[in-house]
């Protein structure tokens, strides 16, 4: 079981890293072609990647050997969850069209 979980953690982390790399390439292409939503492309990629990385952190809590490792994993999990919420909030507000103020 321990070996199975370690492989699952590795796969989730690789997928998360790959998503960030793909989002980076897409963002670079959008910058070169002067697309308007460059920031949104990168933010959505990071948000998706963070979901996979959060999954790997949850699996790490299952196999944490002692309280120190469990605390470290919990801190990383909290930080990634906070980043995910902030990025989701930013993409939500970035994707909304600007509305003028009523007169």
Q: How much is the average pLDDT of 31-40?
A: 85
Q: Is residue 62 part of a domain?
A: yes
Q: Is residue 101 part of a domain?
A: no
The structural domain count of the chain equals 1
Q: Is residue 11 part of a domain?
A: yes
- Taking the C-alpha atoms of residue 15 and residue 20, their distance in angstroms, rounded to an integer, is 9
DSSP code for 36: T
Q: Is residue 58 part of a domain?
A: yes
**Model confidence at 99, in pLDDT bands (50, 70, 90)?**
low
Residue 53 structural domain: 2-94
- pLDDT score for 96: 67
Note the residue count of the chain.
Answer: 103
- Taking the C-alpha atoms of residue 74 and residue 58, their distance in angstroms, rounded to an integer, is 9
Q: What is the pTM of this model?
A: 0.73
Q: Is residue 103 part of a domain?
A: no
Residues 6+ apart with CB under 8 A from 44: 23, 91
- Taking the C-alpha atoms of residue 18 and residue 28, their distance in angstroms, rounded to an integer, is 15
Q: How much is the average pLDDT of 49-59?
A: 87
- pLDDT score for 97: 61
pLDDT of 73 higher than 90 = no
């Amino acid at each position: 079981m321990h070996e199975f979980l370690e492989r699952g953690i590795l796969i989730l982390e690789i997928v998360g890293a790959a998503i960030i790399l793909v989002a980076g390439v897409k963002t670079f292409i959008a910058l070169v072609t002067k697309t308007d939503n460059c920031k949104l492309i990168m933010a959505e990629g990071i948000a998706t990647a963070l979901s996979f990385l959060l999954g790997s952190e949850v699996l790490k809590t299952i196999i944490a050997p002692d309280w120190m490792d469990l605390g470290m994993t919990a801190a990383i999990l909290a930080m990634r969850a906070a980043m995910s919420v902030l990025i989701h909030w930013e993409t939500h507000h970035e994707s909304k069209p600007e509305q003028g103020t009523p007169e």
